[in-house]
Amino acid sequence: MSQLKCDDPVFLHTRREALLILAVWAACLCWVVPYCATYGYRPLPEGTEPELVLGMPGWVFWGVAVPWGAASLASLAMCLFVIQDDDLGEAPESRHDTSESAV
């Protein structure tokens, strides 16, 4: 099987950033789905109230809110420190002449 080799730095940066975002998404998925499936569908003993954390059931807080916050912090860190602004070169000439024909 042939391997596509690309030396374009814009492509390489974009691919690296996309894989990093996909890894964060997959990590959150691997936490949220099993945690919520395990603790969200567990029946409570009769006469007991669910554990509340900040007014939410504990499984919602630990299974949804915490990974959501962690993903938000990871996204912020990626935007500030990882994602690069690449030079795309000169912009092509515009087809519309706006100097004197727009009267």
* Closest CA relative to residue 83, chosen from 8, 5, 7, 16: 16
> Assign residue 84 a region: left if phi > 0, alpha if psi is -120 to 50, beta otherwise?
beta
User: Where exactly are the structural domains of the chain?
Assistant: 17-43+58-82
CA–CA dist 15, 32 (Å, integer) = 26
pLDDT, tens digit (0-9, with 9 covering 90-100), for 40-70 = 888 888 888 888 899 999 999 999 999 999 9
Angle 59-65-67 (CA atoms, 0-180°, nearest 5)?
A: 100
Average confidence score pLDDT of the chain: 85
CA–CA dist 61, 41 (Å, integer) = 15
Position 100 pLDDT exceeds 50: yes
Angle 62-67-68 (CA atoms, 0-180°, nearest 5)?
A: 115
Query: Lowest-pLDDT range, 29-38, 64-73, 81-90?
Result: 81-90
